């Protein structure tokens, strides 16, 4: 482990990791209370380290598509927590003066595909645009182990390799594609070996070790930004909740979830910082209180925003031609 | 005063439009298969590849999904891309991008910014090249939210409409007619001109029947009209030019004048664009429909996959004699 990471960065990662955890829990709290307008909830608890470590390596206008269930982590790229929660509970953030959370080119967010992976080309196309516009923007494009199998992801990788585009592809392997174990979809020990087939470098990293991810992403981002072309990172992590809240999870072996809770990235990183002497109990309590307060305020403001109206929906773009 | 200094065929007119727009706006870029390596795939405007090839016009592998998706991402990122997909049949390979995302995504995500992109492909029968290369798929995309569809029938229209498509801030599907690519040349102004999307054009004036058509069906309708005129039947041919947005007012006006309406297309009949047009005129001008001398009719391809056989293909898709026959039945 390279311990040259500045103290401010280490503490920023902690605060962001904690914030991500608490936003996910807030979503669950609002969802459980009912009536929020959330059609469903796909939680990301336990996987936050990956997106938080990525964001710490990106500039505001770099293109980044997190694994879909981790999109709430985009606050770490500068988006407002209020807009994130408001989008999750289907509020009219545009009318409220906010920005579209799911599609916001200013922050490098170019949409999410409900048919996951079908957005791969959007983010590779933005990298191509950046190259043609001669900016130094790069793309980090992440899918879970499930959506990474889609044909459009393959085509996007082929494009990035052929055109030598600044793209870091990532697979956030949380071990399950809905109910299908990820190992049912590939036959190698190390999923990052897929990179070899495309002639690009690939490596795997412990997806629950935020500093390990931070270092690996930093290396790949630097490579992409300096014209080195695309590469692949596989982050091995685990989905601690069902595919959606209410999922009976009949596909899990007994005891598996409990084993992975022991590898929860948040307490793990907290302990590391305490061992390093960078965090005290008093710090932990203070940061916890600050984060909770920030999220409670954001959630309260989000819940006060009205739901979008039909008229506003129609007015959004070109309407009925 | 229009300066007529060049005669161009259809594909050259498209290439000229693209080259002029690339010179006018550095954000205009293009990619697809073999644009640089084979030259002319994209229109053979002289010097275009020398000027922009490898930099702003680039070759991609055979990856239609990525070609289309990259246009979405690049358009959101600040470019104005033209994504080349060889045939309208291959659009089905990237159907998710066109149908679920391109026109609908900004509404789904409440985004008010522009998404200026052109998907450029060709379609059309005549060569017997089979389903993937020839099928007219415009009806699928007419059913797609937020996607404009351009289908020109002449070099003049092709140039003006391509320029309009490139300058449009919304996604445009530009379906060129393959059989017309190297067809009749036409005087095309050297100067910059735009044909706004959503304006039909009367390709032939007439008094007895209105034939609404577009793209490769236009020459067939015009030929039929010439032959019919020898029997004192004067057909008016309305070229929609863009089927989304649709200039239904032009159809209404013409049908009101002639009292008869035939809609003809190369695409299959079931669920085809003709059905939409017939219903639309019924909705916007029921009085005109009520006063027609004969019910609205449509002429379209049989509901079958296209064969790899020119003669069989001609049996499936309406030809000039088919137009003549149905017009005579109606008049």
CB-based contact B257:B207 (threshold 8 Å): yes
Task: Enumerate long-range contacts of A38-44, CB under 8 Å, 24 or more apart.
Answer: A38/A88, A38/A89, A38/A90, A39/A90, A40/A244, A40/A245, A41/A88, A41/A244, A41/A245, A42/A68, A42/A69, A42/A243, A42/A244, A42/A245, A43/A69, A43/A240, A43/A241, A43/A245, A44/A20, A44/A69, A44/A70, A44/A72, A44/A73
Instruction: Transcribe A116-153 into DSSP letters.
Output: TTTTHHHHHHHHHHHHHHT----EEEEEETTGGGSHHH
Residues 6+ apart with CB under 8 A from A317: B106, B107, B111, B112, B146, B170
Phi, psi at A57, each rounded to 5°: -105, 5
Closest CA to B12 of B42, B37, B43, B58: B43
pLDDT of residue A37: 80
Q: Tell me the per-residue pLDDT of A208-250, one tens digit each, with 9 for 90 and over.
A: 999 999 999 999 999 999 999 999 999 999 999 999 999 999 9
Q: Tell me the per-residue pLDDT of A48-89, one tens digit each, with 9 for 90 and over.
A: 999 999 999 999 999 999 999 999 999 999 999 999 999 998
Residue B112 is nearest to which of A101, A110, A316, comparing CB atoms? A316
Mean pLDDT computed over A253-273: 97
Binding-face residues of A in 119-138 toward B, CB within 8 A: 119-130, 132-133, 137
Cis? peptide before B245, omega within 30° of 0: yes
Answer whether A179 touches B (CB < 8 Å).
no
pLDDT of residue A97: 84
Best of B60, B70, B83 to mutate (most A CBs within 10 Å, chain A): B70
A119 Rama class: left (phi>0) / alpha (psi -120 to 50) / beta: alpha
CA distances from A280 to A13, A14, A96, B233 (A): 16, 13, 39, 94
- pLDDT of residue B215 exceeding 60: yes
Longest dimension (CA), chain B: 58
Residue B79 is nearest to which of A93, A129, A158, comparing CB atoms? A129
Q: What is the mean pLDDT of chain A?
A: 94
Q: Of all residues in chain B, what percent carry a pLDDT higher than 90?
A: 82
**What pairs with residue A180 in β-bridges?**
A177
Cα separation, A286 vs A79, in Å, equals 23
Instruction: Transcribe A261-276 into DSSP letters.
Output: HTT-HHHHHHHHHHHT
Q: Tell me the per-residue pLDDT of B104-136, one tens digit each, with 9 for 90 and over.
A: 998 888 888 999 999 999 998 888 888 888 899
pLDDT of residue B216: 95
Task: Enumerate long-range contacts of A6-10, CB under 8 Å, 24 or more apart.
Answer: A7/A278, A9/A56, A10/A211, A10/A273, A10/A276, A10/A278
Contacts of A105 in chain B (CB under 8 A): 76-78, 113
Closest CA to A262 of A70, A46, A48: A46
pLDDT confidence tier of residue B40, bands split at 50, 70 and 90: low
pLDDT of residue B1: 39
Residues 6+ apart with CB under 8 A from A262: none
CA distances from A91 to A82, A85, A307, B38, B325 (A): 10, 9, 4, 50, 58
- pLDDT of residue A98 exceeding 90: no
Longest dimension (CA), chain A: 63
pLDDT confidence tier of residue A295, bands split at 50, 70 and 90: very high
CA distances from A99 to A83, A96, A106, B91, B112 (A): 7, 9, 10, 32, 10
Q: Tell me the per-residue pLDDT of B138-152, one tens digit each, with 9 for 90 and over.
A: 999 999 999 999 999
Q: What is the mean pLDDT of chain B?
A: 94
Rounded to 5 degrees, what angle do the CA atoms A216, A224, A266 make?
30
Residue A100 is nearest to which of B101, B111, B148, comparing CB atoms? B111
pLDDT confidence tier of residue B5, bands split at 50, 70 and 90: low
Contacts of A164 in chain B (CB under 8 A): none
pLDDT of residue A317: 58
- pLDDT of residue A113 exceeding 50: yes
CB-based contact B142:B244 (threshold 8 Å): yes
Q: What is the chain A residue with the closest CA to B169?
A: A318
Q: Token pair of B158, please?
A: 């092709």
Instruction: Transcribe B278-309 into DSSP letters.
Output: HHHHHHH-HHHHHT-SS--EEEEE-SSPPPS-
* Catalytic option among B80, B133, B265, B298: B133
Cα separation, B270 vs B181, in Å, equals 27
Q: In order of start, what are the domains of chain B with their CATH numbers? A: 6-188 (3.40.50.970), 201-330 (3.40.50.920)
- pLDDT of residue B4 exceeding 90: no
- pLDDT of residue B59 exceeding 70: yes
Cβ burial of A30 (10 Å; 0-12, 13-18, 19+) is buried
Q: Of all residues in chain A, what percent carry a pLDDT higher than 70?
A: 96
* DSSP SS3 for A28: helix
Rounded to 5 degrees, what angle do the CA atoms B12, B135, B170 make?
60
Cα separation, B299 vs A294, in Å, equals 65
Mean pLDDT computed over B156-168: 97
Contact B96 A118 (CB under 8 A): yes
Cβ burial of A189 (10 Å; 0-12, 13-18, 19+) is exposed
pLDDT of residue B2: 45
Cα separation, A143 vs A312, in Å, equals 31
Q: What is the chain B residue with the closest CA to A156?
A: B66
| Pair type for strands A109-110 and A103-104 | antiparallel
Between A216 and B185, name the one with better pLDDT: A216
Query: Which ipTM value was assigned to this complex?
Result: 0.94
Q: Tell me the per-residue pLDDT of A174-209, one tens digit each, with 9 for 90 and over.
A: 999 999 999 899 999 999 999 999 999 999 999 999
Q: Of all residues in chain B, what percent carry a pLDDT higher than 70?
A: 98
Cα separation, A225 vs A168, in Å, equals 10
Q: In order of start, what are the domains of chain A with their CATH numbers? A: 7-307 (3.40.50.970)
* DSSP SS3 for B43: strand
Cα separation, A106 vs A99, in Å, equals 10
pLDDT of residue A76: 97
Q: Tell me the per-residue pLDDT of A299-321, one tens digit each, with 9 for 90 and over.
A: 999 999 998 887 776 665 565 66
């Amino acid at each position: 482990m390279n311990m040259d990471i500045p103290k401010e960065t280490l503490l920023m990662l902690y605060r962001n990791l904690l914030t991500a955890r608490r936003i996910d829990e807030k979503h669950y709290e609002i969802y459980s209370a009912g009536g929020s307008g959330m059609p469903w909830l796909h939680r990301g608890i336990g996987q936050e380290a990956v997106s938080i470590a990525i964001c710490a390596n990106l500039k505001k206008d770099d293109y980044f598509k997190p694994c879909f269930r981790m999109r709430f982590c985009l606050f770490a790229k500068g988006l407002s927590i209020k807009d994130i929660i408001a989008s999750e509970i289907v509020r009219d953030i545009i009318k409220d003066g906010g920005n579209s959370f799911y599609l916001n080119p200013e922050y490098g967010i170019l949409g999410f595909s409900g048919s996951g992976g079908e957005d791969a080309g959007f983010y590779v196309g933005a990298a191509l645009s950046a190259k043609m516009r001669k900016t130094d923007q790069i793309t980090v494009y992440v899918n879970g182990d499930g959506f990474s199998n889609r044909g459009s992801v393959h085509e996007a990788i082929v494009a990035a390799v052929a055109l030598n585009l600044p793209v870091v592809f990532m697979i956030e392997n949380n071990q399950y594609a809905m109910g299908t174990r990820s190992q049912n979809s590939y036959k190698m020990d190390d999923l990052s070996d897929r990179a070899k087939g495309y002639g690009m470098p690939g490596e795997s990293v412990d997806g629950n070790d935020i500093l390990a991810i931070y270092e690996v992403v930093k290396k790949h981002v630097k490579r992409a930004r300096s014209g080195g072309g695309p590469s692949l990172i596989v982050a091995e992590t685990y989905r601690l909740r069902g595919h959606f809240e209410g999922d009976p999870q009949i596909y899990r072996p007994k005891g598996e979830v409990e084993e992975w809770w022991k590898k929860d990235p948040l307490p793990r990183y907290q302990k590391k910082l305490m061992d390093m002497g960078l965090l005290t109990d008093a710090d932990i309590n203070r940061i916890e209180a600050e984060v909770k307060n920030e999220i409670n305020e954001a959630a309260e403001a989000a819940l006060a925003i009205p739901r979008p109206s039909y008229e506003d929906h129609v007015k959004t773009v070109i309407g009925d031609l | 005063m229009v300066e007529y200094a060049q005669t161009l065929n259809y594909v050259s007119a498209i290439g000229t439009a693209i080259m002029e727009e690339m010179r006018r706006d550095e954000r205009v870029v293009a990619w697809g298969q073999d644009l640089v390596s084979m030259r002319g795939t994209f229109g053979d405007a002289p010097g275009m590849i020398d000027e922009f090839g490898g930099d702003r016009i680039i070759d991609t592998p055979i990856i239609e999904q990525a070609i289309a998706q990259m246009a979405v991402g690049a358009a959101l990122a600040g470019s104005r891309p033209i994504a080349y997909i060889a045939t309208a049949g291959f659009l089905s390979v990237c159907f998710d991008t066109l149908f679920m995302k391109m026109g609908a995504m900004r509404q789904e995500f409440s985004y008010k910014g522009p998404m200026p992109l052109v998907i450029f492909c060709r379609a059309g029968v005549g060569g017997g090249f089979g389903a993937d290369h020839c099928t007219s798929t415009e009806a699928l995309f007419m059913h797609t939210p937020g996607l404009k569809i351009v289908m020109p029938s002449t070099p003049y229209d092709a140039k003006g409409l391509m320029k309009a498509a490139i300058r449009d801030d919304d996604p445009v599907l530009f379906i060129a007619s393959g059989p017309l690519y190297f067809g009749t040349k036409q005087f095309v102004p050297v100067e910059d001109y735009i044909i706004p999307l959503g304006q039909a054009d009367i390709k032939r004036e007439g008094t007895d029947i209105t034939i609404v058509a577009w793209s490769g069906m236009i020459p067939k309708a015009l030929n039929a009209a010439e032959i019919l005129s020898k029997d004192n039947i004067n057909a008016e041919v309305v070229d929609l030019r863009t089927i989304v947005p649709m200039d239904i007012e032009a159809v209404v006006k013409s049908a009101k004048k002639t009292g008869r309406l035939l809609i003809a297309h190369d695409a299959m009949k079931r669920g085809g664009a003709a059905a939409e047009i017939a219903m639309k005129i019924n909705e916007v001008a029921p009085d005109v429909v009520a006063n027609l001398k004969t019910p609205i009719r449509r002429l379209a391809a049989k509901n079958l996959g296209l064969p790899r056989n020119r003669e069989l293909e001609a049996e499936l898709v309406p030809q000039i004699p088919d137009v003549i026959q149905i017009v005579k039945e109606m008049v």
